[in-house]
Amino acid sequence: MDRAFVKDLPHNRDDLAITRAVIAMAHGLSMKVVAEGVEEKHQFDSLREEGCDEFQGFFCRPAMESHELEALLRRHGLVIPTQPWSALTGGGSMAVA
């Protein structure tokens, strides 16, 4: 779910209605919902109450420098690709949201 619908939760009735509809539609299609841009506890609480499955944003963890991300990934045993994305996907590209 885009940050644009999250930023004014739970105070904006239109955003709340859109949030409910997106969550219901996704769950009806057996999909999980990830909310972007969750920065405040009241946003998190509202999304949780509506049944949102996952979230990302400053409320979870503030932005970090690339070396901090690399260290975090290494601590959890994850490998950081050293090849360009195109080499990993056979020449394809990746859309960035």
Predicted TM-score (pTM) above 0.85: no
Q: Taking a C-beta distance cutoff of 8 angstroms, is the pair 4, 22 a contact?
A: no
Q: What's phi and psi for 25, nearest 5 deg? A: -65, -45
Span 42-80, pLDDT tens digits: 999 999 999 999 999 999 888 888 888 888 888 988 877
Per-residue pLDDT band at 97 (split at 50, 70, 90): very low
Q: What percent of the chain has pLDDT over 70?
A: 82
Helix (H, G, I), strand (E, B) or coil at 48: helix
